[in-house]
Amino acid sequence: SRPCLSLLAHCYFYTQDFIASAQCYEKLVQLCPNESIYKLYHAQSLHQACMYQEAWTICSNIINQSNLEFKVKKLQAAIKYGQEDVVAAKNLVDQCPADDVDTEINLGCLLYKEEQYEQALKKFANALQIVGFKPHLSYNVALCYFKLKEYAASLKHIDESAKEALTDMPPRSEEELDAVTLHNQALINMDTKPSEGFEKLQFLLQQNPFPPETFANLLLLYCKYQYYDLVADVLAENVHLTYKYLTPYLYDFLDALITQQTSPEEAYRKFDDLGNKHMEILRKATKRVQEARLNHDDGAVKKAVNDYEEALERYVPVLMAQAKIYWELGNYTQVEKIFRKSVEFCNEHDIWKLNVAHTLFMQENKFKEATGFYEPIVRKKYDNILDVSAIVLANLCVSYIMTSQNAEAEGLMKKIEKEEQVVSREDQEKKLFHLCIVNLVIGTLYCSKGNYEFGISRVMKSLEPYNKKLGTDTWFYAKRCFLSLLEQLAKQLVVLKDTTLQECIQFLEHCEVYGRDVVTVVEQPFDIQDMLSIIPQGKQTVVYEARYLKALFLKLQMS
**147-176 confidence digits (pLDDT tens):** 888 888 888 888 766 666 555 556 666 666
State the Cα–Cα distance between residues 493 and 485, nearest whole angstrom: 10
Side-chain half-sphere of 548: how many Cα atoms within 13 Å? 11
Q: Are 62 and 72 in contact (CB under 8 A)?
A: yes
**446-470 confidence digits (pLDDT tens):** 999 999 999 999 999 999 989 889 9
Give the number of other Cβ atoms within 10 Å of residue 374's Cβ: 27
Give residue 337's pLDDT: 96
Query: Quick one: angle between helices 135-147 and 117-131, nearest 10?
Result: 160
Give residue 167's pLDDT: 53
State the Cα–Cα distance between residues 553 and 506, nearest whole angstrom: 11
What's the mean pLDDT in 114-136? Answer: 92
Close Cβ partners of 228 (under 8 Å, ≥ 6 residues apart): 222, 257, 258, 260, 261
DSSP states along 289-319:
HHHHHHTT-HHHHHHHHHHHHHHHHHHHHHH
Residue 532 has pLDDT above 50, yes or no: no
Give residue 451's pLDDT: 92
pLDDT band at residue 530 using 50, 70 and 90 as cut-offs: very low
Per the rule left: phi > 0, alpha: psi between -120 and 50, beta: everything else, 207 is beta
The domains of the chain are located at: 2-167, 466-524+534-558
Q: Residue ranges of the alpha helices (H) in 49-100? A: 52-61, 69-82, 86-94
Residue 207 has pLDDT above 90, yes or no: no
What's the mean pLDDT in 308-319? Answer: 94
Which residue did the predictor score with more confidence, 223 or 536? 223
Give residue 16's pLDDT: 83
My answer on whether omega of the bond before 170 falls inside 30° of 0, hence cis, is no
Q: Are 359 and 320 in contact (CB under 8 A)?
A: no
Task: Tell me the Cα Rg of the chain.
Answer: 31
Give residue 531's pLDDT: 42
Q: Are 511 and 470 in contact (CB under 8 A)?
A: yes
pLDDT band at residue 56 using 50, 70 and 90 as cut-offs: very high
Query: Residue 344 — φ and ψ, nearest 5°?
Result: -55, -35
Q: What Å distances lie between residue 297 and 212, 288, 294, CA to CA?
A: 35, 11, 8
Give residue 311's pLDDT: 93
**316-331 confidence digits (pLDDT tens):** 999 999 999 999 999 9
Superfamily of structural domain 2-167: Tetratricopeptide repeat domain (1.25.40.10)
pLDDT band at residue 353 using 50, 70 and 90 as cut-offs: very high
Query: Quick one: angle between helices 36-48 and 69-82, nearest 10?
Result: 20
Residue 342 has pLDDT above 50, yes or no: yes
What's the mean pLDDT in 39-49? Answer: 93
State the Cα–Cα distance between residues 170 and 194, nearest whole angstrom: 27
Single-letter amino acid, residue 547? R
Residue 208 has pLDDT above 80, yes or no: no
pLDDT band at residue 61 using 50, 70 and 90 as cut-offs: confident
Give 541's DSSP letter: B
Give residue 68's pLDDT: 84
- Rounded to 5 degrees, what angle do the CA atoms 270, 273, 279 make? 140
pLDDT band at residue 508 using 50, 70 and 90 as cut-offs: very high
Q: Are 254 and 224 in contact (CB under 8 A)?
A: no
**Which is nearest to 459 in space by CA: 540, 404, 394, 387?**
394
Q: Which segment of 146-160, 385-399, 472-486 scores lowest on mean pLDDT?
A: 146-160
**Which is nearest to 208 in space by CA: 47, 12, 42?**
47
Close Cβ partners of 79 (under 8 Å, ≥ 6 residues apart): 47, 52, 55, 56, 59
Q: What Å distances lie between residue 81 and 50, 112, 177, 397, CA to CA?
A: 11, 12, 24, 57
Q: What Å distances lie between residue 350 and 102, 259, 303, 318, CA to CA?
A: 44, 28, 22, 15
Q: Are 175 and 164 in contact (CB under 8 A)?
A: no
50 by Cβ neighbours in 10 Å (0-12 / 13-18 / 19+) ranks as middle
Give residue 176's pLDDT: 66
State the Cα–Cα distance between residues 64 and 489, nearest whole angstrom: 93
What's the mean pLDDT in 276-285? Answer: 94
Query: Long-range contact list for 55-61, CB < 8 A, 24+ apart?
Result: 55/79
